[in-house]
A and B are shown apart, each in its own frame.
Chain A
Amino acid sequence: MWAGVKLKRFERLMLPHMGAAFNVANWLVRNEEDAKDAVQEAYLQAYRSFATYSDNNSRAWLLTIVRRTCFRTLRSHSRFQNVIAFDEALHSTDAESTQTRLSARDGSPEEALLAQSEEAMVWVALEELPSIFREVVVLRDIEEFSYQEIAQIIDAPIGTVMSRLTRARQRLRAVLSARSDERNQL
């Protein structure tokens, strides 16, 4: 199919970030199918507004669009959930999505199994954080954006990024120590 100069340039700049895009989308919408849809939609939106891209940071620019697309998806789904009772489906999706995320990595099956229980606890705790805390942890500790880039992506002052990360990590720590206390008592 025809692919002109604009498309080639866009692909060269933006396709390499698909891993980050999918990972962040997956953490935000907590469901692999919706994450794939969100990545698809975000890339289309990014292409349509490519004329507005002017700085040197394609990864942060793309992730800003991915994040917006995910929140739009979450909002429209929560409207729909008012229409039809969806509680059981929602709970099963959360469990499934953790499982999907855990099995969606490379590495030998034995390694995966060993690492799984400790890691699973961390990931479950992260998944249960409210999204404003979850997204800054994902952007910093998984995608390794700078605070300045995170501030741009979430459209907030850098001071907010600082305090929000502190609170997010404190919450995670609290959840994890409560969980390991439970385990130790068993």
Chain B
Amino acid sequence: MNCEQAKDYLSAFLDNELPADERLVMQEHLASCASCNEEIASMRSVSGAIRSSERAVVPDGLHDRVRQGLRDEAQSERNSRLRPWGSLVAASLFSAMVSAGLTWAYLAGPGSQASTVVDQIVSAHVRSLIVKENLTHVASSQSHEVKPWFTGKLDFAPQFRDFAAQGFTLVGARLDYIQHRPVAALVYRRRKHVVNVFVWADVAGSRPPGKPTSRRGYKLLTWAGSGLIYWAISDLNMNELQQLRSLM
């Protein structure tokens, strides 16, 4: 074995991870090679420095938060098992759509009858993130700049408020389509997370808002107020999404 061949195995030798016969070959080489010995010595000190430093402790509350999340998941698993066959049909539709992926969302378009509000919201959210020009049609945190852009495009008047002081910055807004109707999409940023808040008028006969849900890794929250229906979606955690809801 020469230095060139030994090079890749120095760490493994240091960590006692070489099989016996290869370790013997390495030891023979090291018996007469000063530079490889030096390499190993300096790697030993670097790895020792890292190993001796202490590891970060789990932050307060994370343990409880994880356990709560698991309980919620177990509960919803149990609920869907107890529901009658209707949920099985919905579940298999859902998994078929997930496996078809984004292309389905593009191909199906507004003409599809099978997709639910949640699926359309998720697709619209994902589409808005893929191409940066599609995220906002009007990029501003100022209500007096955003609101006029929507005049004539919507038959209702959402509020465009910036909550930068509370950690939710209004990035801007765009016009989007959910269930064949034009909706306002307010775009907020929280740290590195994008939150899309879809708003439309509460037409008589609309379903009442549902519980917080999770779909394809995104969290969704819905509520109603002042004759408007809101859907917030983000990869942000549900706690912080609820914080945005309470601000709005």
Point out residues on A near B: beta carbons under 8 Å: 1-4, 6-7, 10-11, 15, 18-19, 22-23, 26, 32-34, 36-37, 39-41, 43-44, 47-48, 72-73, 76-77, 79-84, 86, 89, 101, 104-107, 115, 118-119, 122-123, 126, 137, 140-142, 144, 146-147, 159, 162-163, 165-166, 169-170, 172-173, 176
**Given A23-B55, A23-B56: A137 touches B73 (CB 8 Å cut-off):** no
Contacts of B51 in A (CB 8 A): 141-142, 144
Query: Is the CB–CB distance between B56 and A22 below 8 Å?
Result: yes
Interface SS, B side:
helix
Query: Is the CB–CB distance between B66 and A37 below 8 Å?
Result: no
Q: How far is the CA of A12 from the CA of B52 in the complex (A)?
A: 29
Query: Is the CB–CB distance between A84 and B12 below 8 Å?
Result: no
B215 within 8 A of A: no
Interface string of B7-32 (1 = CB under 8 A from A): 11111100101000000000000000
Query: Is the CB–CB distance between A47 and B73 below 8 Å?
Result: yes
B90 within 8 A of A: no
B57 within 8 A of A: yes
Query: Is the CB–CB distance between A22 and B73 below 8 Å?
Result: no
Interface SS, A side:
helix
**Contact partner, A106, options B57, B70, B135, B235, Cβ 8 Å:** B57
**Contact partner, A126, options B50, B56, B59, Cβ 8 Å:** B50
- The minimal Cβ–Cβ distance linking B93 to chain A, given in whole angstroms, is 18
Query: Is the CB–CB distance between A7 and B57 below 8 Å?
Result: no
**Contact partner, A79, options B78, B129, B189, B191, Cβ 8 Å:** B129
B87 within 8 A of A: no
Query: How many residues of B are counted as interface, with CB atoms below 8 angstroms from the partner's CB atoms?
Result: 50
5 A-B contact pairs sorted by A residue (CB < 8 Å): A2-B75, A40-B62, A47-B70, A80-B129, A126-B50
Query: Is the CB–CB distance between B129 and A10 below 8 Å?
Result: no
Query: Is the CB–CB distance between B55 and A77 below 8 Å?
Result: no
**Given A26-B56, A81-B192: A141 touches B50 (CB 8 Å cut-off):** yes
- The minimal Cβ–Cβ distance linking A44 to chain B, given in whole angstroms, is 6
- The minimal Cβ–Cβ distance linking A38 to chain B, given in whole angstroms, is 11
Contacts of B193 in A (CB 8 A): 80
Query: Is the CB–CB distance between A101 and B56 below 8 Å?
Result: yes
Q: Nearest residue in B to A34 (C-beta to C-beta)?
A: B192
Query: Is the CB–CB distance between B67 and A104 below 8 Å?
Result: no
Contacts of A137 in B (CB 8 A): 47, 50
Q: Nearest residue in A to B78 (C-beta to C-beta)?
A: A2
* Residue from B8, B55, B78 with most neighbouring chain A CB atoms (10 Å): B55
* Residue from B17, B191, B192 with most neighbouring chain A CB atoms (10 Å): B192
Q: Nearest residue in B to A169 (C-beta to C-beta)?
A: B43
- The minimal Cβ–Cβ distance linking A87 to chain B, given in whole angstroms, is 13
B101 within 8 A of A: no
**Contact partner, A15, options B10, B39, B67, B75, Cβ 8 Å:** B67
Q: How far is the CA of A175 from the CA of B93 in the complex (A)?
A: 53
**Given A147-B17, A169-B47: A123 touches B53 (CB 8 Å cut-off):** yes
Query: Is the CB–CB distance between B57 and A104 below 8 Å?
Result: yes
Q: How far is the CA of A126 from the CA of B70 in the complex (A)?
A: 33
Query: Is the CB–CB distance between B67 and A147 below 8 Å?
Result: no
